[in-house]
Amino acid sequence: MSKDNPIDPQILLAEERYKIISDIISEVYSKGEKHYSKTDLLDRVFLHPYLGIMIFLVVMWAMFHFTFEASAVFMVIIENIIEWLKGFALQIPNPVIASLIAEGIIGGVGFILVFVPPIFFMYFTISILEDSGYLARAAFVMDKIMVKMGLHGRSFIPLLLGFGCSVPGIMAARTVDGRENRLTTILVTPLMSCSARLPVYIMIAGAFFPLYQGTIVFLMYIIGIVFAILMALIFQKLIFKGKSSPFIMELPEYQTPTFHGSVIHTWERGVLFLKKAGTYLLFGAVLLWFISKMGPGGYDVPIAESYAGILGNAIAPLFVPLGFDWTIVTALIFGFFAKEIVVESLSIIYSVNGAAAIRLQLLGLMTPVTAFALMIFVLLYTPCIAAIGTIRKETNSWKWAMVSVVYQVGLAYSMAFLVVAVGGLIF
């Protein structure tokens, strides 16, 4: 290895390893008349530099289309059950307890459970792609783009995991070589649209773009990827000035995924969402119910005079240029705890139950352009407290955790403003 032409030691190791494997195989195995295997044939197309990317886009579109279109019926069924439970809880004689259970717990956590079908469906498709061996190919195909954009090839895996949840995505950045590459990956992973943002997208897209719901949500994921790449490029050029190192990955053989195996993997991932719903989403719902019912005037004050209203109204002037009123701002503030709480908050603030009721409220408050700006804001701002804590833990520095929060909020605000400004000119 010379100074002028450095070769990554990992490449040398991999080459040596495969040379030994090849030597052993040539001694014990003689070539006969063999057929091309499924992997031989499909990899000629799926790993093609251009066709591979096109096929990846088709597969991603199919995944999101399936997630949102197929889960719609199940969402309505759960919504009807929640509605029935809410009516049942309202019959409790004590009005405070009835309100806490019906509007706080069932209206909040119960409403989030409506989004279990799309989240589980998405995990199911990710499991199928993973079990079939395609996900590794997707990483391989995207590697060239990653390196061109200044990211490390191995950054694709954390970014891909970020689609499910930012926390494991950030933790997976441990495998990325080089401090600068690792930091870049950690900082841009939260821009990948995690499953917690799904309820917000489904809610808004369903209200303002009902005919293109799946397409709009797919677009949000693409925008997330684009911003992750752009920010990585900016971090690499302006702050870190690091070099990318090659991506070495063994590709598994293609397998036909089994229904049983995919269901098990879906459950392993999905159960984390259910645990979250049962713990701090429940805590968030109770807290929100409390501050939206209580105010300086006592219990059951009008929502605008509650502590939630006071908090939202205090910060709302900052969001006037984006067209967000205090109810949206309050929901966004609570969204710092977890993105699911944005929808939960709206349900509690508007004191309504069911997606249709919230959509009606939103239709009266926003234009399609403002709604799209809100989706962009939710996509780009800090995913949750857990993600901030994980960044601090992984970088061992509060500085990088704060950098992550500040740049994401700034980016979210400026991009949402851009959408409103440009949208206002066009529509």
Supply the minimum distance, in Å, between the C-beta of residue 214 and other proteins: 8
Supply the minimum distance, in Å, between the C-beta of residue 239 and other proteins: 35
The answer to whether residue 36 forms part of the interface with other proteins (CB under 8 A) is yes
The answer to whether residue 314 forms part of the interface with other proteins (CB under 8 A) is no
Among residues 4, 23, 27, 33, which is the contact residue for other proteins, using CB under 8 A?
33
Supply the minimum distance, in Å, between the C-beta of residue 73 and other proteins: 4
Among residues 84, 88, 212, 299, which is the contact residue for other proteins, using CB under 8 A?
212
Nearest to other proteins of 218, 377 (CB atom)? 218
Nearest to other proteins of 59, 409 (CB atom)? 59
The answer to whether residue 44 forms part of the interface with other proteins (CB under 8 A) is yes
Please identify, among the stretches 55-63, 172-180, 224-232, 326-334, the one whose residues bind other proteins according to the rule CB under 8 A.
55-63
Please identify, among the stretches 54-62, 86-94, 145-153, 323-331, the one whose residues bind other proteins according to the rule CB under 8 A.
54-62
Cβ atoms of 326 and 316 within 8 Å: the answer is yes
The answer to whether residue 72 forms part of the interface with other proteins (CB under 8 A) is yes
Distance CA 251, CA 139 (A): 10
Cβ atoms of 47 and 137 within 8 Å: the answer is yes
The answer to whether residue 61 forms part of the interface with other proteins (CB under 8 A) is yes
Distance CA 188, CA 200 (A): 21
List, in sequence order, every residue forming a beta bridge with 295; answer none if it has no partner: 298
The answer to whether residue 54 forms part of the interface with other proteins (CB under 8 A) is yes
Distance CA 370, CA 372 (A): 5
Supply the minimum distance, in Å, between the C-beta of residue 134 and other proteins: 10
Supply the minimum distance, in Å, between the C-beta of residue 49 and other proteins: 13
The answer to whether residue 81 forms part of the interface with other proteins (CB under 8 A) is no
The answer to whether residue 84 forms part of the interface with other proteins (CB under 8 A) is no
User: Would you call 313 exposed, middle or buried from its count of C-beta atoms within 10 A (0-12, 13-18, 19+)?
Assistant: middle
User: Would you call 16 exposed, middle or buried from its count of C-beta atoms within 10 A (0-12, 13-18, 19+)?
Assistant: exposed
The answer to whether residue 34 forms part of the interface with other proteins (CB under 8 A) is yes
Cβ atoms of 175 and 157 within 8 Å: the answer is yes
Residue with tokens 């005919």: 211
Distances (CA, A) of 249 to 131, 140, 212, 252, 340: 16, 8, 37, 9, 35
Supply the minimum distance, in Å, between the C-beta of residue 28 and other proteins: 17
Cβ atoms of 75 and 117 within 8 Å: the answer is yes
Among residues 7, 77, 81, 264, which is the contact residue for other proteins, using CB under 8 A?
77
The answer to whether residue 360 forms part of the interface with other proteins (CB under 8 A) is no
The answer to whether residue 294 forms part of the interface with other proteins (CB under 8 A) is no
Among residues 46, 111, 156, 326, which is the contact residue for other proteins, using CB under 8 A?
46
Among residues 14, 59, 315, 357, which is the contact residue for other proteins, using CB under 8 A?
59
Please identify, among the stretches 75-83, 85-93, 101-109, 158-166, the one whose residues bind other proteins according to the rule CB under 8 A.
75-83
The answer to whether residue 218 forms part of the interface with other proteins (CB under 8 A) is yes
Distance CA 372, CA 378 (A): 10
Nearest Cα to Cα of residue 367 among 204, 200, 203, 197? 204
Nearest to other proteins of 157, 217 (CB atom)? 217
Q: Which long-range contacts (CB under 8 A, 24 or more apart) does 394-402 make?
A: 394/170, 394/171, 394/173, 394/174, 394/186, 395/183, 395/186, 400/183, 400/186, 400/187
The answer to whether residue 74 forms part of the interface with other proteins (CB under 8 A) is yes
Q: Which amino acid is at 187?
A: L
Torsional class of 224: left (φ above 0), alpha (ψ -120 to 50), beta (otherwise): alpha
Nearest to other proteins of 87, 410 (CB atom)? 87
The answer to whether residue 147 forms part of the interface with other proteins (CB under 8 A) is no
Nearest Cα to Cα of residue 142 among 123, 130, 155, 133? 155
Nearest Cα to Cα of residue 127 among 66, 190, 58? 66
The answer to whether residue 11 forms part of the interface with other proteins (CB under 8 A) is no
Torsional class of 182: left (φ above 0), alpha (ψ -120 to 50), beta (otherwise): alpha
Distance CA 426, CA 369 (A): 10
Supply the minimum distance, in Å, between the C-beta of residue 419 and other proteins: 19
Please identify, among the stretches 26-34, 145-153, 291-299, 339-347, the one whose residues bind other proteins according to the rule CB under 8 A.
26-34
Contact set with other proteins (CB under 8 A):
31, 33-38, 40-42, 44-46, 51, 54-55, 57-59, 61-62, 65-66, 69-74, 76-77, 80, 212, 214-215, 218
